[in-house]
Amino acid sequence: MPEPTEPQHWQSFKAGNADAFEYLYRSYAAGLYNYGSKFSKDKDLIKECIQDLFVGIWTRRSTLGNPDHLKNYLYKSFRHLLFKKAFQLQNFEVYEEETDNYSFQVSLNVEEAIIDGEHRSKVTEQLNLAMSKLTARQREAVFLRFYEQLSYEEIAEVMDISVKASYKIMARALGFLKENLSKDDLMLLSLLLHLKLLN
Amino acid sequence: MKKQISAYETYTLAELINDQDFLLWVLHPDEKSDLHWQNIENDYPQLKDPIHQAKAIVLTMRFEKDDLEKKEQDEIWNTIQAKTTLLTTPVRKLWYRYAAAAVLAGALLGIGILYQNNQPIAIKTPYGQLKTITLPDGSLVTLNANSKIKYDKDWNKNEIREVWIEGEAFLKVKHLHTSGKIADRERFVVHTGDVNVEVLGTSFNVNDRRGRTEVALLEGKISLGLNGATGKPLILSPGDIAEFDHGKLIKKPINVAEYASWKDGRLYFKAVPLAKIFNYVEDIYGYKVVVDDPEILKKTISGSLSTQNEQVLFKALGMTLNLNITPNQDTKELMITTK
């Protein structure tokens, strides 16, 4: 018997199959944790949100639809839970996102084998310095595009913004990185980041 | 559109990384592009090293990953399982049972209850912390420490307002009734383990701990009925307290201030036995009270104490009663000894 596809797992999960539920959890737990860790260093908070997310979808499974992209759906719900918890809002209040009123910390590195010693640490340092000058929202968009390889449409969904806004955020972020990195061979990295994100 | 192979002859590492085709190949290789770049390497051996370096840089530019260890992943899963097992069977059923109980109570109180598949909201307070909650209709609930409230997220305009409470809460219910026949939406029902409290708009305190329910009324009028029982509801007037103990509802007059003072961070006592105070300390702060002499429990206390800070409360109690009160944070025991 062929391995069930994710939509098939989703259907079994909605029908109350515990194995399918575990499959979904195992598929996304590490990714969600990694994503969540960029918002907060409070590991327990992130774990709690993962827990609440899965307990929540299990409880509501009969009323859930069939999301086109399960990953987006889970990331989006997870992000929402995280914000709600982090801002300690009461359950029934709808979180209204204020511009960049949150943190999103990423750190980039270049593998040792590629660039050696001093040069490597210089490259890494400058790249991270440039990244740190972006807004949280821009960093998050870059992360979702570059690391999670989401499309602009998907980024818009997860971050709860318009598709147009997701293009705009990214263009600003990349423009900034390019400008700030263009003076030495860091341009290589900025351009590669740029292209990797755009194609 | 791919460039001619010859165009790459003089490419440097930097130029390679800047090259769209090169990046496309590295990021999304396919047979065709594999062959293309293999040909370039074969024709221009001097490009072999730069190509490998450039490829490596592109592929190894990484966001640092925050790892969730296998053990942690399993731990979270165990909790999810524990919670969902509870949610799928007993708690779900419990919720339905509440609804069923409410229907029974409805018969008792002359209310029809529509159970809707609406997300319940549950809020729990930890030991030593109060929380004020605004309900969907604007009514206010102050939840005492170690207490829980549950209610539907959305309140339908045509339905009774309902909340479920465990522990202790002070409610200030928004009055919606103006005149004439009382509509369902103007009713407000508080369910505890054994008692249903129906009100229109009023302030009252509900305490549902240790198998006993106490309802103290500050303003307005409320009616109480027992879960799953028929019979005349008990009507309370301000200054009354209704106590449900061992299957019976009893009404008696009290000093109401005593009962709801906790919400303002103070406790008022009038000849209250210490046993009762210690029960309170156990419920609110999570300590197990240990006394060296049971006679202590018979002492009574009158006056007011601040409950904002447990250490201050213990000190004040100790001084007033001439007792040593020593909390042990490890065992969560509160040792009470005579001086």
Chain A residues within an 8 Å CB radius of B14: 185, 187-188
Report the percent of chain B where pLDDT is more than 90: 2
Contact A92, B136 (CB under 8 A): yes
Nearest to B262 by CA among B250, B243, B274, B277: B277
Average pLDDT of the segment spanning B218-225? 75
Give yes or no for A30 touching B (CB within 8 A): yes
Looking at the structure, do residues B188 and B226 belong to the same domain, yes or no?
Answer: yes
Give yes or no for B79 touching A (CB within 8 A): yes
Q: Is the pLDDT of residue A114 over 70?
A: no
Identify which has the larger pLDDT, A181 or B122.
B122
The CATH number that applies at residue B159 is 2.60.120.1440
User: Could you tell me the pLDDT band of residue A57, with boundaries at 50, 70 and 90?
Assistant: very high
The region of weakest confidence among A5-9, B69-73, B231-235, B334-338 is B231-235
Q: Residue B125 falls within a domain, yes or no?
A: no
Do the bridges between strand B240-245 and strand B248-253 make them parallel or antiparallel, or are there none, so unpaired?
antiparallel
Q: Which residues contact B287 (CB under 8 A, 6 or more apart)?
A: B281, B327, B332, B333, B334
Q: Residue B255 falls within a domain, yes or no?
A: yes
Rounded Cα distance between B165 and B191, Å, is 6
Q: Is the pLDDT of residue B338 over 90?
A: no
Helix axes A18-39, A6-14, angle to 10 degrees: 110
Looking at the structure, do residues B135 and B242 belong to the same domain, yes or no?
Answer: yes
Rounded Cα distance between B190 and B197, Å, is 5
The SS3 of residue A178 is helix
Partner-chain contact B23 A90, CB within 8 Å: no
Looking at the structure, do residues B147 and B255 belong to the same domain, yes or no?
Answer: yes
Which residue, of B259, B283, B301, is where some domain finishes? B259
Q: Is the pLDDT of residue B65 over 60?
A: yes
The CATH number that applies at residue B304 is 3.55.50.30
Identify which has the larger pLDDT, B66 or A119.
B66
Looking at the structure, do residues B289 and B241 belong to the same domain, yes or no?
Answer: no
pLDDT for the residue numbered B170: 86
Q: Is A119 left (phi over 0), alpha (psi -120 to 50) or beta?
A: alpha
From A61's Cα to the closest Cα of chain B, the distance in A is: 11
Output b/e per residue, B142-160; b: 16+ Cβ within 10 A.
bbbbbbebbbbeebeeebb
Range of the domain at B238: 131-259
Q: Residue B72 falls within a domain, yes or no?
A: no
From A59's Cα to the closest Cα of chain B, the distance in A is: 7
Nearest to B133 by CA among A95, A84, A93: A93
Which residue, of B60, B75, B96, is where some domain finishes? B60
| DSSP conformation class of B88 | I
- pLDDT, one tens digit per residue, over B229-282 is 666 777 777 777 777 776 677 777 666 566 677 777 777 666 777 888 888 888
pLDDT for the residue numbered B95: 39
pLDDT for the residue numbered A199: 35
Number of domains into which chain B is organized? 4
Looking at the structure, do residues B152 and B243 belong to the same domain, yes or no?
Answer: yes
Partner-chain contact A91 B58, CB within 8 Å: no
Looking at the structure, do residues B231 and B164 belong to the same domain, yes or no?
Answer: yes
Residue of B nearest to A27 (CA): B73
- For residue B120 the two structure tokens come to 């319940």
Looking at the structure, do residues B281 and B224 belong to the same domain, yes or no?
Answer: no
> For chains A and B, what is the number of CB pairs under 8 angstroms?
109
Which residue, of B259, B287, B316, is where some domain finishes? B259
Q: Is the pLDDT of residue B150 over 80?
A: yes
- For residue B45 the two structure tokens come to 């051996």
Partner-chain contact B87 A59, CB within 8 Å: yes
Partner-chain contact A22 B68, CB within 8 Å: no
Partner-chain contact B66 A38, CB within 8 Å: yes
Q: Residue B76 falls within a domain, yes or no?
A: no
Task: Select from A35, A37, A55, A139 the residue whose CB has the most chain B CBs within 10 Å, as the one to mutate to test that interface.
Answer: A55
Q: Is B231 left (phi over 0), alpha (psi -120 to 50) or beta?
A: left
Q: Residue B185 falls within a domain, yes or no?
A: yes
Residue of B nearest to A41 (CA): B66
Looking at the structure, do residues B333 and B282 belong to the same domain, yes or no?
Answer: yes
Q: In the predicted model, what is the mean pLDDT of chain A?
A: 77
Rounded Cα distance between A159 and A177, Å, is 21
From A99's Cα to the closest Cα of chain B, the distance in A is: 24
- pLDDT, one tens digit per residue, over B155-176 is 877 788 889 988 888 888 887 7
Looking at the structure, do residues B206 and B275 belong to the same domain, yes or no?
Answer: no
Looking at the structure, do residues B164 and B241 belong to the same domain, yes or no?
Answer: yes
Q: Which residues contact B105 (CB under 8 A, 6 or more apart)?
A: B111, B189, B191, B196, B225, B226, B227, B228
Do the bridges between strand B288-291 and strand B248-253 make them parallel or antiparallel, or are there none, so unpaired?
unpaired
Rounded Cα distance between B249 and B194, Å, is 10
Fill in the amino acid letter for B253: P
Q: Residue B209 falls within a domain, yes or no?
A: yes
Q: Residue B68 falls within a domain, yes or no?
A: no
Partner-chain contact A114 B56, CB within 8 Å: yes
pLDDT for the residue numbered B56: 61
Looking at the structure, do residues B237 and B270 belong to the same domain, yes or no?
Answer: no
Looking at the structure, do residues B147 and B244 belong to the same domain, yes or no?
Answer: yes
Task: Enter the pTM of the model.
Answer: 0.44
Q: Residue B123 falls within a domain, yes or no?
A: no
The most confident of A31-40, A166-175, B53-62, by mean pLDDT: A31-40
Contact A144, A62 (CB under 8 A): no
